[in-house]
Chain A
Amino acid sequence: MVQRRSLLDIVPHFILALGVIIIAFPVYIAFVASTWDAATISNGQMPLWPGPHFLENYYRTIFIGTAKTTREPVGIMMLNSFVMAMCIAIGKIAISLISAFAVVYFRFPFRMAAFWTIFITLMLPVEVRIYPTYKIVADLRLLDTYAGLTIPLIASATATLLFRQFFMTVPDELVEASRIDGAGPMKFFVDTLVPLSITSVAAMFVIQFIYGWNQYLWPLLITTSDNMQTIVIGIKKMIVTQDALTEWQIAMATAVLAMLPPVIVVVAMQKLFVKGLTETEK
């Protein structure tokens, strides 16, 4: 019986291991590429194992940049990405919490209209209205600023919906109790509702941090100066070259660095991440 079991176990182990290998392979190759020199890669002679240029490539990537001069080093790009991801995540959560609170706990004219106004945008990504949005951000003189980079992405039907659903499950007795204590709505919100929502908030944070970090088309259009570049954009610009060699080793080192923060967040906060994902999207 025991033997039969362990034999049967081989099949799932085999399938899962294969899955893990296939999933990891592209990233492994990127890592290998980040440890070789440009000529080896561009001549198509890169082997399957890491090369000797690890330190040199990463040092150049993080502190110097692809060209010796203007292109910002990846360190600055990562900082920009971090600021953008944080602003988007925190901004989304903050405004969604209060708007969900308003919709759930108050009765006022145009309540449903307001809710629907937000809800319609649930699946309307910035990509489909990219040029007009760019124009508006330019008119507001927000090009090349963190505000322009983040505020247009902060409105969130997803988060509003999640918090609304969560608030619905909060027992009414808590409101009544808080009323008996003579607390006003804002006191209830701050003292009772927000502490109760803390897991939902954290879960939402993980999801939205990744969303912000991985933005592509929007920063591509609205950042013009080198020192506002985000890391995801940086990679794309390293690959497209005019009459010059693509420095794949630097591009790949950058790709590895760009993947690290969100991957670490997902792995380290796995439980919250899974909760956030399954609850927001359902």
Chain B
Amino acid sequence: MEKRVTFNGRLLPYMLLAPQLLITLVFFYWPAGQAVWQSFLIEDAFGLSTQFVWFENYQILLSKPDYYRTLAITLTFSALVAFLSLSLALLLAVQADKHIKFASGYKTMLIWPYAVAPAIAGVLWLFMFQPSLGLVSHAIRALGVDWNPVLNPDHAFTLVVMAATWKKIAYNFLFFLAGLQAIPKSVIEASAIDGASPMRRFWTITFPLLSPTTFFLLVVNVVYVFFETFGIIDATTGGGPAKATQTLVYKVYHDGKLGADLGGSAAQSVILMLIVIGLTAIQFRYVEKKVQY
């Protein structure tokens, strides 16, 4: 993993690294340190009075069922979005991998949602499912379902899951397609000669061969739901109703809003950062392994 041939230079490498390191220190580590400090304080909204309380913010946070509920929602949300967008993307990728006409045209038509901002995706879905003016909600209501995401937590949750899934299919599709195209056709043909049905071929040969891709996508999708769905949630439900669509990241933002509970919000930031650093470590081992090949 190391270059054999290197350059000599005392100052040069530091100068080359300086911009990246400086920005990282100023805009990552300094705020992270501030978050840790803030998590030990109780302050009023305007920062006019400050009190050092050690771990009280953490105690309060961890003693409230609210936090665990948000955690559970985030995990359910991740599981649902990952499952839905992975399976739909896989279905589409398998079709697009067949030798049919317009395959590349379909591909183009399926990947562009990657470019849509999460917040805009949220707005689009909100617009369709808004109870009073949404086109789709009118249709659903005509079918006799009392569709109301502003009041019904399950409806709101469904809406957020749909929007988040929609946004992620493109990404998963691309990776699955790349994964499928990397599988040597001879392997599949060999099993076809054995007389295995297409379905059986898929589950016994193709799917296991795709498992590294699937595992990688699973991690990416979970991270996506944790962090990148902020825009979707803010635009569609604002975390409601009754916090049914509030994720951990949304809660950090929401609790710190209006300076109401900056200490509690900072404590949540610190916990999240620890989780993320843990995930990064796992990811890194995976990355390194891949590079070895």
Contact = CB atoms under 8 A, between A and B. Distances in A.
Contacts of B16: 98-99, 101-102, 106
A244 interface: no
A250 to B, nearest CB: 12
A42 B133 contact: yes
Given A120-B277, A155-B24, A185-B12, A20 B109 contact: yes
Interface in A212-271: 213-217, 232, 235-236, 239, 248, 251-252, 255, 258-259, 262-263, 265-267, 270
A24 B277 CA distance: 36
B261 to A, nearest CB: 11
Given A30-B124, A131-B265, A136-B27, A262 B115 contact: yes
B34 A132 contact: yes
Given A127-B253, A131-B256, A259 B120 contact: yes
Nearest to B163: A26
A165 interface: yes
B123 A239 contact: yes
Interface in B1-42: 1, 3-10, 12-14, 16-17, 19-21, 23-32, 34-35, 38
Contacts of B113: 23
B67 interface: no
A48 B119 CA distance: 24
B110 interface: yes
Q: Which 5 pairs between the two chains have the least Cβ-Cβ distance?
A: A214-B117, A132-B31, A262-B115, A132-B34, A12-B95
A262 B118 CA distance: 13
Contacts of B9: 106, 108, 185
Contacts of B284: 119, 122
B132 to A, nearest CB: 6
B156 interface: no
A29 B175 contact: no
A281 to B, nearest CB: 6
Contact of A122 (B25, B269, B283): B283
A155 B178 contact: no
